[in-house]
Amino acid sequence: MSLFRRIGPLLLLLASAAPSRAAELLVFAATSMKPALDEIVALPEAKTIAEIKTSYGASSALARQIDAGAPADVFISADLEWMDWLQQRDHVATATRFVLVRNELVLVAPAASKLELTLDAKTDLRGALGDSRIALAEPGSVPAGKYAKAAFGKLGLWPQVESRYVATENVRAALALAARGEAPLAAVYRSDAVSEPGVRVVAAFPADSHPPIVYPAAALKDHDSAATKQWLALLQGPQARAILQRWGFRDAASD
Amino acid sequence: MLSAAESTALAISLKVALLSIVVALPFALALGLALSRLRFPGKSVLEALLNLPLVLPPVVTGYALLIVFGRNGVIGAWLSTLGIQFAFHWSGAVVAAVIMSFPLLVISIRAGFDGVDRRLEAAAESLGAGPWRRFFSITLPLSRRSVLAGCVLAFARAFGEFGATISFVGSIPGETRTLSIAIWELLNQPGGEAGLGRLVWVALLVGIAASLFAALLGRRSQANGAAHD
């Protein structure tokens, strides 16, 4: 009896904590989504759905965490490859999967740079680089780098770039090198260029020079609750669209 | 066996880690001695600064290195007029490794110097030994095991270094792509597991070899020490 009196309040506390946990959503999203997604999460409409928590990281790291049992409800990947990888491993509620946004690949220079160039087979990148290097996200593994390598390859410019790039851990680090003037050029997403006043867009890569840059989103298997679906619907609604566009993303439906 | 790219990454890692100890050791010995034997204003501030690389996230240290030693950095701009450039060059990876492993080296060395019986140094002085002779014939030999332990710790830290290196010098194949960076890249590729396993084994073998080497040296110096005592 006295034991119950002692731990009774604790049990009550645990019981009252349980329902609020049910109305909590954990969203795993690619780091490049952060500024836009933070705004969407802060919308009053989002708050009525559930308490939405976000965990940002590289799509690869997030996918491996989900595969290892991380309790995420929604995954927003910066490329198709890792969403497909999770889907093959049966972690995705396939019916809920859709393309949230597209992004564009652009070439940026430090804001103070006077450099002008157009991207085609005749572009003199070596001349533009001088004795320095172009900053790319790691072209073997990081999505932005893979797109950049494909685009330079399609344009016939990869031989000029191959021995003259510096690979970074993620696309934001490549952006920072250009913003600090350490690299005279960097290949980054339009959405990154929008959020960094230290750089200016020199040229956009032709859309057909690389695989389409799409951000798939989906509920994870056995996490497709009503709240999850409401949140996915909100992401596709007009308010979220406006926010995403303001941060440099393009509509999934375009082209 | 390892592919050409993989053995290049291993070679870069070994070169960077070994060279970083060669570069850091004289400074660490001097600083360890100063911290152990001298009292001076700002000593605790200096110790706190020294430990910063242990406390800060490595990517922050790497970014700070870029700000200081980058081509537009405070010191980097001046160095580049002399033709020295660290950013995006393998020597920059050595700089990152030195900074990251320096606190471990100094802490070990200082502890060794603290443990030396000061009366032995005083006796040597009374017999006419100058400061250099006292250091090399009394203080250093008596603290050799701490110095060695510091070197092994520093080597391990430098060999495994990732965050500061990739922030400061990026990943350039054949230049700054170390074993740690190659491992991280494989982790980011779907299906990279096979190569990943190989490189992790290599890293493990290097780590074990370094520990065994240190144990062997430690045992031998203990035997020599016993003969002298």
Q: Which amino acid is at A12?
A: L
Share of chain A above pLDDT 90, in %: 67
Checking ipTM against 0.85, whether it exceeds it is no
- Do A60 and B72 lie within an 8 Å CB cutoff? no
By the 8 A CB rule, do B196 and B190 touch?
A: no
Q: Give strand ranges (E) for chain A.
A: 24-30, 51-57, 74-76, 98-102, 105-110, 134-137, 165-168, 185-189, 199-204, 214-219, 250-251
A205 with A109, same domain: the answer is yes
Residue A14 in any domain: the answer is no
A96 with A109, same domain: the answer is no
Kindly list the residues of chain A whose beta carbon comes within 8 Å of any beta carbon in chain B. 58, 60-61, 64, 81-82, 85, 132-133, 135, 138, 140-142, 165-169, 173, 176-177, 180-182
A125 with A199, same domain: the answer is yes
A111 with A202, same domain: the answer is yes
Q: What are phi and psi of B52, to 5 degrees?
A: -50, -45
Kindly list the residues of chain B whose beta carbon comes within 8 Å of any beta carbon in chain A. 59, 63, 66-67, 70-72, 87-88, 166-167, 169-172, 177, 184-190, 192
Spatial separation of the C-alpha atoms in residues B51 and A168, rounded to whole Å: 26
Give the bridge partners for A167, in sequence order.
A136, B171
**Residue showing tokens 């597209």:** A102
A85 with A129, same domain: the answer is no
How many distinct structural domains can be found in chain A?
A: 2
Q: Using an 8 Å CB-CB cutoff, list chain A residues near B188.
A: 58, 60-61, 138, 141-142
A122 with A141, same domain: the answer is yes
A20-77 pLDDT per residue, tens:
444 789 999 998 898 899 999 999 999 999 999 999 888 888 999 999 888 899 999 9
Residues in chain B with pLDDT < 70?
221-229
What is the number of other CB atoms lying within 10 angstroms of the CB of residue B83?
6
How many distinct structural domains can be found in chain B?
A: 1
**Residue showing tokens 């240290």:** B61
Q: Which two tokens stand for residue A120?
A: 């085609």
**Residue showing tokens 């389409």:** A212
pLDDT at A89 over 80: yes
Q: Which two tokens stand for residue A178?
A: 């250009």
Spatial separation of the C-alpha atoms in residues A95 and B204, rounded to whole Å: 44
Give residue A173's domain range: 105-209
CATH of the domain at A81: 3.40.190.10
Q: Which two tokens stand for residue A244?
A: 């995403």
Q: Using an 8 Å CB-CB cutoff, list chain B residues near A178.
A: none
Residue A145 in any domain: the answer is yes
B72–chain A nearest CA distance, Å: 7
Q: Which two tokens stand for residue A65?
A: 């965490």
- Do A64 and B187 lie within an 8 Å CB cutoff? yes
Q: Which amino acid is at B178?
A: T
What is the number of other CB atoms lying within 10 angstroms of the CB of residue A72?
20
Please name the member of B70, B170, B185 whose beta carbon is closest to the beta carbon of A140: B185
Interface test with B, best of A169, A171, A180 (most B CBs within 10 A): A169
pLDDT band at A18 (very low <50, low <70, confident <90, very high): very low
Please name the member of B88, B189, B190 whose beta carbon is closest to the beta carbon of A166: B88
Q: Using an 8 Å CB-CB cutoff, list chain B residues near A166.
A: 88, 169-172
The pLDDT of residue A19 is 44
CATH of the domain at B38: 1.10.3720.10
A196 with A243, same domain: the answer is no
Contacts of B137 (CB under 8 A, 6+ apart): B124, B129
Please name the member of A58, A140, A169 whose beta carbon is closest to the beta carbon of B166: A169
**A91 three-state secondary structure:** coil
B99-151 pLDDT per residue, tens:
999 999 999 999 999 999 999 999 999 999 999 999 999 999 999 989 999 99
A202 with A218, same domain: the answer is no
A192 with A98, same domain: the answer is no
Spatial separation of the C-alpha atoms in residues A28 and A154, rounded to whole Å: 32
Share of chain A above pLDDT 70, in %: 90
The pLDDT of residue A1 is 47
Spatial separation of the C-alpha atoms in residues A113 and A108, rounded to whole Å: 10
A115 with A200, same domain: the answer is yes
A90-123 pLDDT per residue, tens:
999 999 999 999 999 999 999 999 888 888 888 8
Give residue B120's domain range: 4-228
The pLDDT of residue B223 is 67
B190–chain A nearest CA distance, Å: 7
A198 with A109, same domain: the answer is yes
Residue A8 in any domain: the answer is no
A94 with A120, same domain: the answer is no
Average pLDDT, chain A: 89
Q: Which residue has the higher pLDDT, A241 or B227?
A: A241
Q: Using an 8 Å CB-CB cutoff, list chain B residues near A172.
A: none
Please name the member of B70, B170, B192 whose beta carbon is closest to the beta carbon of A168: B170
Q: A51-57 and A24-30 as β-strands: parallel, antiparallel, unpaired?
A: parallel
The pLDDT of residue B60 is 92
Spatial separation of the C-alpha atoms in residues B115 and B98, rounded to whole Å: 25
Residue A10 in any domain: the answer is no
